[in-house]
Chains A and B, each alone.
Chain A
Amino acid sequence: MSTVAIPVGARPARNPWVMLGKGFLMALLVSAGVLVLYPLIWMALGGFKSNSQIFSDPFALPNRWSFDNYVAAWNLGVRNFLFSSLLVTIVSTITTVFISAWTAYGLTRTKMFGKPVIVGFVLGGMMLSPTVALVPLVQMMQSLGLYNTHWALIILYTAFRVPFTTFLIRAYMLDLPRDLDEAAMIDGASEGQIFRKVMLPLCRSIIVSCIILHILFAWNEYLFAMIFTNQIDVQTLPVGLTSLMAKHGTNYAEVFAAMTISALPIVLIFFFTQRYFIRGLTEGIGK
């Protein structure tokens, strides 16, 4: 029989309609892929082109490959924006993940007073939108003297992401068996020791997911960054880009270079940490 010769997993697709259907679906996948990637490639290549070539020859490859526009963008402020973005992202990631893990431990492993209320309060914060808090927050940040500082962003990124991050870590801790921390307790370890030496190592994978999701959020956040910072040495990349655009918008090539510099790190992080990234996303919506 002819089926014997067909490798495992491949079914005979002799029917021309089936072949046509498969061809159509593949074409759909490929064209969606082109639609997604082409604008991004156009942007990155635009950073190599001269301004006049972008206008005259939008589809062509750059005439010469030089990093001049990237260097120019770097010196126009992208250096400062990148530094601010790094600082705000790193510090707020540490504070958010630490506070969240700490809280999640208390909410799953201690006999905390009023626990159900606290769970509701902290996780309920997930539903609240930053836009609604904007007007009072401006007055608050001004009276705290935090307006136009990195601290304003660090505090707000932490406050608005602790609920979601706690939610993820708490769900993970609830699923962990209690044998290990009970054993440690019998051995006389204090709660602090159990948290540091038993729970944190056990939760490593969800914590990595939370770190990556927070980096994605903080690196890309625009609303707070736009409202609370207005100087080149405090602005993060997303808001810095729009001010760069306002000042040098006629120089497409340099703006393209700046946009590419801003997008590249996060795309790389996504590619190298996909596994954790996807776990975080699915836990977030699937639980």
Chain B
Amino acid sequence: MKMGSATATSHNSAVKGGAAFDRRAWARHSLLQQLAALRWGIAALIIVGWFVYYPIIDNFFVSTTNQDIFTGEVNAVGLDNYRRLLDDQVVWLALRNNGLYAVFSVIFQVFAAFVLAAIIEGLRNRTWRNFWRAVYFIPSAISTTVTGLLFYFIYQPDIGLLDAFLHLVGLQNLSYTWLGDERTAIYAIIAMSQWQGFGYSTLLFTIAIQKIPRELYDAATIDGAGAIRQLFSITFPLTREMTGMMIIVTIAGAFQVFNEVMVMTGGGPNNSSQVLGTWLYEQGFNQNDMGYAAAIGVVIFVATLITGLLQLWYTKRRRVEV
């Protein structure tokens, strides 16, 4: 019944279209249709354009000004803020800290996570495989504020869990003000970050490993290749794409770190644990120097742009290879 009437209407329109076919009218109609279809894109274009692209472009303009937020006065200062960047010791320190973040994260969240994933996938029991995967992932599901505060307590000298543990095993002379010392603060934060993040990449690697055909391992076993040999000759080469992608994503993440540093030290002591994000916050929202903060924002933008383009290039190249 319903089907019948629908077919009838489509017949009708086909006849009408055939009778009055006019190339120009058709082209106009088709353009109108294309424009009308824009209604599907308009919501995303507006909200993304207005709240993502516009502020990021505006940030370049703000970075060439000095703004007084109390009087509302805005002065164009050209590239002054960028000259200040070059002379700012803390910016270089922050870049170094972001770099350290990247190095440690690649070691733990890519390579260690890969090894762990390979071990998990080597387990014969499916329930255990899922169990370990899920357990390691839990910290990644929790807010960095919670994990940051938790480790703030763990690192407390004398009363924190870490020192209590050191006392328990008789290493009390290693007891230390982990977050309160300029030399160790950033490492303590990075360690927390690895604790939180390795399970996420382990999970992704287990899925990449699952996609490798079992026959390859069976054949290798028949040929007498041991587990370690199989790891290096099968698992590693066949998950190389995922590894490459993970390295890029991890480095990109390392240059956008903010939450854990903010929660655990606020960049201190004596700016020793500042990263670019927290230094931007300090300059813009504590020192009210919006122009300079915007210039730091441009540095972060360049870092994310480079990693973003790398990612794009990597994905494209992979498509071509496959």
Contact = CB atoms under 8 A, between A and B. Distances in A.
B48 A267 contact: no
Contacts of A28: 116, 119
Interface in A159-186: 159-160, 162-163, 166, 186
A137 B6 CA distance: 50
A191 to B, nearest CB: 8
Contacts of B245: 285
B225 to A, nearest CB: 14
Contacts of A90: none
A245 interface: yes
B207 interface: yes
Contacts of A99: 43-44, 47
Given A155-B47, A220-B143, 16 more contacts: A40-B150, A59-B168, A99-B47, A110-B40, A113-B35, A125-B48, A133-B59, A134-B281, A136-B55, A220-B144, A238-B146, A238-B259, A262-B143, A266-B142, A278-B207, A285-B249
A29 interface: yes
Contacts of B238: none
Nearest to A111: B34
A99 B50 CA distance: 15
B52 interface: yes
Contacts of A186: 6-7, 10
A239 B145 contact: yes
B120 interface: yes
Contact of B161 (A58, A160, A223): A58
Nearest to B3: A187
A118 B35 CA distance: 13
A102 B3 CA distance: 27
Nearest to B2: A187
A54 B304 CA distance: 42
Interface residues of A, number: 90
B137 A270 contact: yes
A106 B42 CA distance: 10
Contacts of B204: 281-282, 285-286
B44 A156 contact: no
A94 B47 CA distance: 15
Contacts of B161: 39, 42, 58
A242 B149 contact: yes
B313 interface: no
A191 B256 CA distance: 40
A103 B49 CA distance: 14
A155 B150 CA distance: 30
A96 B41 CA distance: 13
B187 interface: no
